C-alpha cells in the first residue's frame, strides 16, 4: 500500500492523479455500457423466459442498481471524507471487478441481481471521483475539470454498447469478462500512481446520521449556501431522465426508427456531450464565468427539450442534437459552484448527496416520463402528442433555474471572482 500523501504531493502528481480519475469514470461507464446489449440474452438464459418475458426482469434489475446507488452515494462520500479518497476509489474499482466476474459466471438470475447491486455500490464512486477533483483543483478551475468527468462519462456511454454488441456476438458472457479486465487494469494503475488528495487535517469523523440519503439531505438543507443549488440540481437531473427513459420508445413512435437508428442517435448525443464538455467547456467558462455558463447551459437545455417536443420529422431531431449538446455545460458548472462554497472536510459528503439526488431522479424519472409518454400516445388518448415527456422536461429545467438563482444570490459574497 502506498503511503498517504499531503495535498502538495497530490498536486505535484496532479496529471497522473487527474488522468486516473478520468480513466476510472470512463472505464466504469464503458464497462457498464459493455453489458447493455447482452443483458436481455443473459436474462433469457438464467430466468428461462422469452424475449417478451425478459422485459419484466429489466425494470427490477435497473431499479436494483439505482436504489443501491442512491443508498451508498452519501456513504462512499462520507467514507472518503474520513479515510481519504484513494482507499475508497480503489475499493470501488475492486468491487466493480468482483461484480463483473459474478455476472459473467452467474448460473441463476439472483446472482445477476447480486451483481447489479454491487455495481450500484461501486457506481457510487462518482461522488468520490468528484471530491478528488475538488481536492486537486482551484475553485475557478473546477467547472472545466467536472466537464472532463462528464466527457469521460459520455465516452463510455457511446463506445461501451458498441464494443459490448461486438463481443456479445462471440459469447453473451464475454462483455462481463472484458469489463472485469478493464477494471483490473484501472485498479493496478491506480494502486501504483494515485496519490492521496485529502489532507489529514481536513478529515472528519464518519457520522452515519449524515452518511445516508435522508441524513445528507437534512444536513445540507440547513446550509443556505448549498441547499438551493442542490434543489435546482435535483430538479434538473429529474428533467434529464427523459433521454435514457423514453428516447428509444419516442423514436419508434414518432419517427418509426429501428434499433440501429435509435443507437446511432444516442451515439450522437454522447459524442456531442463529450465534445462540448471536454473541448468547449474551458473556452465558454473563460468567456462567461461559471454562473453565466450555468445559466447559458440551462437556457439551451430548455430550448433544446422544447424543440424535441415539437420535432415531428427525423431530420429535425438530428439537427437539434448537436445544437442542444451545448447545454452540457450546465451540470459541471453548477457542480463547480456547489463545491466552491462547501468546506474541504465535506466535499465527499456533498458529492455523495449529489450522487443520491441523481440516483433518486433515475428511480422517479423513468416512471414519470414513461407515464406521460404513454398517457399522450395510447390508443384513445384525448390528445395525441408524442413530445409530451420532452415538454415536461423543458418545464422542469426552466423551474430548476429558480432555486439556482436563489443559490447564486445567497452566495454572492462567497463565490470566487472568476465565477461571476
pLDDT tens, position by position, 186-199: 888 888 877 776 66
Residue 401 has pLDDT above 90, yes or no: yes
C-alpha span between 281 and 238 (Å, rounded): 23
Domain boundary among 195, 210, 237: 195
More confident residue, 19 or 393: 393
Res 369: pLDDT: 87
Contact call for residues 24 and 201 (beta carbons, < 8 A): no
Closest CA to 134 of 278, 347, 330, 307: 347
Which are the contacts of 3, defined by CB distance < 8 A and separation ≥ 6? none
Q: With 0-12 CB in 10 A as exposed, 13-18 as middle and 19+ as buried, what is 7?
A: middle
Lowest model confidence (mean pLDDT) among 101-110, 315-324, 370-379? 370-379
Banded model confidence at residue 18, pLDDT cuts 50, 70, 90: confident
More confident residue, 215 or 359: 359
Banded model confidence at residue 23, pLDDT cuts 50, 70, 90: confident
The CATH number that applies at residue 287 is 1.20.1250.20
Lowest model confidence (mean pLDDT) among 168-177, 263-272, 280-289? 263-272
Residue 320 has pLDDT above 90, yes or no: yes
161 & 231 share domain:
no
DSSP secondary structure letter of residue 305:
H
Residue 294 has pLDDT above 80, yes or no: yes
Cell of 352: 455523495
CB atoms within 10 A of CB 19: 15
Banded model confidence at residue 391, pLDDT cuts 50, 70, 90: very high
The reply to whether 210 falls in a domain is no
The reply to whether 39 falls in a domain is yes
At 121 the three-state DSSP class reads: helix
Domain boundary among 144, 175, 195: 195
Roughly what angle, to the nearest 10 degrees, separates helices 125-136 and 109-123?
A: 20
Res 69: pLDDT: 79
383 & 285 share domain:
yes
Q: What is the mean pLDDT of residues 279-287?
A: 85
Res 86: pLDDT: 84
Residue 219 has pLDDT above 50, yes or no: yes
Contact call for residues 88 and 80 (beta carbons, < 8 A): yes
186 & 231 share domain:
no
Res 149: pLDDT: 77
Residue 124 has pLDDT above 70, yes or no: no
The reply to whether 204 falls in a domain is no
328 & 184 share domain:
no
pLDDT in tens, 327-385: 989 988 888 888 888 777 667 667 777 777 877 887 888 788 888 888 898 888 889 99
Domain boundary among 154, 177, 195: 195
Res 392: pLDDT: 97
128 & 244 share domain:
no
C-alpha span between 400 and 407 (Å, rounded): 11
The reply to whether 38 falls in a domain is yes
pTM given for the model: 0.72
The reply to whether 76 falls in a domain is yes
150 & 290 share domain:
no
C-alpha span between 133 and 149 (Å, rounded): 9
Banded model confidence at residue 146, pLDDT cuts 50, 70, 90: confident
93 & 134 share domain:
yes
* Residue range of the domain that includes 73: 1-195
Res 304: pLDDT: 96
Number of domains in the chain: 2
Lowest model confidence (mean pLDDT) among 48-62, 143-157, 213-227, 302-316? 213-227
Residue 398 has pLDDT above 60, yes or no: yes
The reply to whether 217 falls in a domain is no
Q: What is the mean pLDDT of residues 235-262?
A: 84
188 & 232 share domain:
no
Res 236: pLDDT: 95
52 & 184 share domain:
yes
Instruction: Say what percent of the chain tops pLDDT 70.
Output: 81
Banded model confidence at residue 6, pLDDT cuts 50, 70, 90: very low
Instruction: Say what percent of the chain tops pLDDT 90.
Output: 20
Residue 395 has pLDDT above 90, yes or no: yes
331 & 402 share domain:
yes
Rg (the chain; Cα; Å) = 21
The reply to whether 218 falls in a domain is no
C-alpha span between 296 and 301 (Å, rounded): 9
Banded model confidence at residue 8, pLDDT cuts 50, 70, 90: very low
235 & 114 share domain:
no
More confident residue, 399 or 81: 399
255 & 369 share domain:
yes
The reply to whether 153 falls in a domain is yes
Amino acid at each position: 500500500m502506498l503511503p498517504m500523501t499531503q495535498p502538495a504531493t497530490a498536486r505535484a502528481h496532479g496529471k497522473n492523479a487527474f488522468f486516473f480519475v478520468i480513466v476510472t469514470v470512463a472505464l466504469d461507464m464503458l464497462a457498464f455500457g459493455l453489458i447493455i446489449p447482452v443483458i436481455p440474452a443473459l436474462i433469457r438464459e438464467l430466468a428461462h423466459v422469452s424475449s417478451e418475458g425478459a422485459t419484466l426482469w429489466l425494470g427490477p434489475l435497473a431499479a436494483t442498481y439505482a436504489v443501491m446507488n442512491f443508498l451508498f452515494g452519501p456513504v462512499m462520500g462520507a467514507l472518503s471524507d474520513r479515510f481519504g479518497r484513494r482507499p475508497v476509489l480503489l475499493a470501488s474499482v475492486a468491487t466493480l471487478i468482483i461484480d463483473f466476474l459474478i455476472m459473467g459466471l452467474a448460473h441463476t438470475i439472483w446472482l445477476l441481481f447480486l451483481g447489479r447491486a454491487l455495481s450500484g455500490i461501486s457506481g457510487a464512486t462518482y461522488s468520490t471521483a468528484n471530491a478528488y477533483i475538488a481536492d486537486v483543483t482551484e475553485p475557478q478551475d473546477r467547472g472545466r475539470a467536472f466537464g472532463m468527468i462528464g466527457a469521460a462519462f459520455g465516452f463510455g456511454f457511446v463506445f461501451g454498447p458498441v464494443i459490448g454488441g461486438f463481443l456479445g456476438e462471440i459469447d453473451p458472457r464475454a462483455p462481463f469478462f472484458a469489463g472485469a479486465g478493464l477494471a483490473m487494469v484501472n485498479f493496478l494503475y491506480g494502486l501504483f500512481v494515485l496519490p492521496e488528495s485529502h489532507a489529514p487535517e481536513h478529515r472528519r469523523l464518519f457520522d452515519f446520521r449524515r452518511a445516508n440519503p435522508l441524513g445528507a439531505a437534512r444536513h445540507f438543507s440547513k446550509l443556505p449556501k448549498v441547499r438551493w443549488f442542490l434543489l435546482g440540481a435535483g430538479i434538473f437531473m429529474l428533467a434529464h431522465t427523459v433521454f435514457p427513459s423514453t428516447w428509444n420508445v419516442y423514436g419508434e413512435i414518432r419517427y418509426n426508427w429501428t434499433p440501429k437508428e435509435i443507437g446511432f442517435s444516442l451515439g450522437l448525443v454522447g459524442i456531442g456531450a463529450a465534445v462540448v464538455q471536454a473541448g468547449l467547456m474551458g473556452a465558454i467558462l473563460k468567456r462567461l464565468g461559471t454562473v453565466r455558463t450555468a445559466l447559458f447551459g440551462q437556457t439551451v437545455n430548455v430550448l433544446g427539450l422544447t424543440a424535441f417536443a415539437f420535432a415531428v420529422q427525423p431530420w429535425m431531431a438530428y439537427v437539434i442534437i448537436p445544437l442542444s449538446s451545448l447545454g452540457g455545460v450546465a451540470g459541471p458548472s453548477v457542480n463547480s459552484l456547489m463545491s466552491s462554497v462547501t468546506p474541504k472536510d465535506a466535499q465527499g459528503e456533498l458529492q455523495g448527496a449529489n450522487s443520491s439526488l441523481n440516483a433518486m431522479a433515475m428511480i422517479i424519472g423513468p416512471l414519470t416520463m414513461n407515464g406521460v409518454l404513454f398517457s399522450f400516445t395510447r390508443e384513445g388518448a384525448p390528445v395525441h402528442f408524442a413530445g409530451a415527456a420532452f415538454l415536461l422536461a423543458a418545464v422542469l429545467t426552466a423551474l430548476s433555474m429558480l432555486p439556482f438563482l436563489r443559490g447564486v444570490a445567497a452566495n454572492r459574497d462567497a463565490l470566487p471572482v472568476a465565477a461571476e
